Chains A and B, each alone.
Chain A
């Protein structure tokens, strides 16, 4: 069944909240992306995790895998920085999914 960013966003859970962390206010953003199989979720994780964030300071991003779900967690000091990173990640995620659509399914291991 072909993946598409549109069909996934129905199932994706996103949450953003502000938490006080001592004297700093940090923004947090969570994203959970379900995949049809654990294998595909792993492929996505390994394609999306190696590159460092272009901007060193002001943002952290953590990717994690739980069964068929890829989860991503950001913390940022400024909304603008958060928005850029999330937007960029979603572009890359949709590229992974389009690649999987066009050149998948994964071969049996």
Chain B
């Protein structure tokens, strides 16, 4: 008995294929401290389990330890992904994994498993750009048509817009990522990394009420955060020890400054592109204050704001599967000999053959 699936999209009826013929893609993600395996079939998330390597307060995560964490759980998470989706290995049509960018050791650990299962199951392999994974998942979940994308995480800060077969970087950080800046403040004031330092900063910021003036370092289309970080690390020690402000005030002030900068460069890119949509992706995109501030700017411009929740903002396997699916259906495959991971991988290096 064939199961026919119909998807209604904006009043037009989209295809009509028996469920069995739609490709099922599994995606592996582990470029930072999250290890996730996700399965998707024609835009439907079948499973998306994930584990996070959480370090004690005051400590960041190092590549070797992170890789060891991922190595310890990846096969369990893979089995979970299959079980939650109710699928067997034979049901998978292709295997996607993060080729880069990210931390070397964790990327290798995950790639090794992806290569091995692809060969065991006799399925094609797809090396995915992590940033494009975020973008494609954001597009799928929100149905934004052609947004200006703000990609903000612990490892990346970019403003991206699609044009002629490339996700072009209109603006970016010239030093550290915005999430990195937040994470490092969290280390200085020793707040918990569970569930993530950024989440805890967000909660504390809600209780802050003193605005401490920080450097504001937008550089044209780009941003810089390392100066703000040095400044606030220094200020934290001085102001906290003399009781001139609370840690909550620091969290509040940092968020307001960083997010205002991000809103500014997003708006600048929108003006260049004549764009009426903003899509925020990446772990920092979960932050409701950032969404709120971006929303104010969008409203002023008559633009729409799109964001996803923590299932898809934060690194996860299914975003890699989704990008992998787009690549696969437009004819990409990654040969095993080309499946090496890379710590640096620019978003605009990939030819986006699946869009016009």
- A residues neighboring B (CB under 8 Å): 42-44, 46-52, 54, 91-92, 95-96, 98-100, 102-107, 109
Contacts and interface: CB of A to CB of B under 8 A. Distances in A.
Contacts of A109: 122
B177 interface: no
10 tightest Cβ-Cβ pairs between the two chains A and B: A47-B115, A50-B340, A99-B116, A43-B119, A46-B336, A47-B116, A107-B122, A50-B339, A51-B340, A106-B120
Most central of B89, B109, B119, B340 by chain A CB within 10 Å: B119
Interface in B121-136: 121-122
Main secondary structure of the interface of A (DSSP, over half): helix
B117 A92 contact: no
A44 to B, nearest CB: 8
Contact of A99 (B75, B122, B337): B75
B81 to A, nearest CB: 12
A107 B121 contact: yes
Interface in B309-342: 336-341
Contacts of B186: none
A92 B110 CA distance: 10
Most central of A42, A44, A51, A98 by chain B CB within 10 Å: A51
Most central of B89, B111, B115, B116 by chain A CB within 10 Å: B116
A95 B113 contact: yes
A44 B116 CA distance: 7
30 contacts: A42-B119, A43-B116, A44-B116, A46-B115, A46-B337, A47-B115, A47-B116, A47-B119, A47-B336, A50-B111, A50-B337, A50-B338, A51-B108, A51-B340, A54-B104, A91-B71, A92-B109, A95-B112, A99-B112, A100-B120, A102-B78, A102-B79, A103-B78, A103-B89, A103-B116, A103-B120, A104-B120, A105-B120, A106-B120, A107-B122
A52 B340 contact: yes
B294 to A, nearest CB: 38
A46 B119 contact: yes
B122 A92 contact: no
Nearest to B79: A102
Contact size range, B = 20 to 34
Nearest to A106: B120
Given A48-B112, A50-B340, A92-B112, A99 B117 contact: yes
Given A102-B79, A103-B78, A50 B120 contact: no
Interface of B: 71, 75, 78-79, 89-90, 104-105, 108-109, 111-113, 115-117, 119-122, 336-341
Contacts of B105: 54
Main secondary structure of the interface of B (DSSP, over half): helix
Most central of A44, A46, A49 by chain B CB within 10 Å: A46
Contact of A92 (B75, B108, B119, B337): B108
A27 to B, nearest CB: 23
A41 B71 CA distance: 21
A70 to B, nearest CB: 13
Contacts of B337: 46, 49-50
Contacts of B341: 51
B336 A106 contact: no
Nearest to B114: A47
Contacts of A104: 120
Nearest to B63: A54
Contact of B115 (A50, A52, A103): A50
Nearest to B75: A102
Contacts of A50: 111, 115, 336-340
B122 A106 contact: yes
A29 to B, nearest CB: 20
B49 to A, nearest CB: 16
Nearest to A50: B340
Given A50-B337, A109-B122, A100 B115 contact: no
